[in-house]
């Protein structure tokens, strides 16, 4: 699993259906976990937490590999 971390300029109150955290929370970082196409796990939150300090983070996971990275984050998927 590859982890991309995007620190935010301040703390935000969020409501999300992301894999972690669930519901309403305060976050100061967005984390993207990029997994292989054959990734299959019943414990995705545990998997991410084992490779990332994701406290106060909004965490998403994807198997998409074709993306363009810029200083401000992911600009597009193709």
Domain extents for the chain?
Answer: 2-77
- Tokens read off for 54: 């994701």
Q: Could you report the per-residue pLDDT of 21-67, keeping only the tens digit for each?
A: 678 889 999 988 888 888 888 888 888 889 988 888 888 888 776 65
Of the candidate ranges 5-9, 43-47, 72-76, the one whose mean pLDDT is the lowest: 72-76
10 Å CB burial of residue 56 (0-12, 13-18, 19+) is middle
């Amino acid at each position: 699993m590859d982890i991309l971390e995007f620190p935010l300029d301040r703390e935000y109150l969020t409501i999300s259906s992301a894999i972690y955290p669930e519901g309403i929370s305060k976050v100061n970082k967005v984390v993207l976990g990029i997994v292989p196409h054959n990734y299959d796990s019943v414990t995705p939150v545990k998997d991410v937490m084992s490779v990332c300090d994701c406290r106060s983070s909004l965490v998403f996971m994807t198997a998409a590999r074709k993306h363009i990275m810029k200083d401000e984050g992911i600009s597009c998927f193709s």
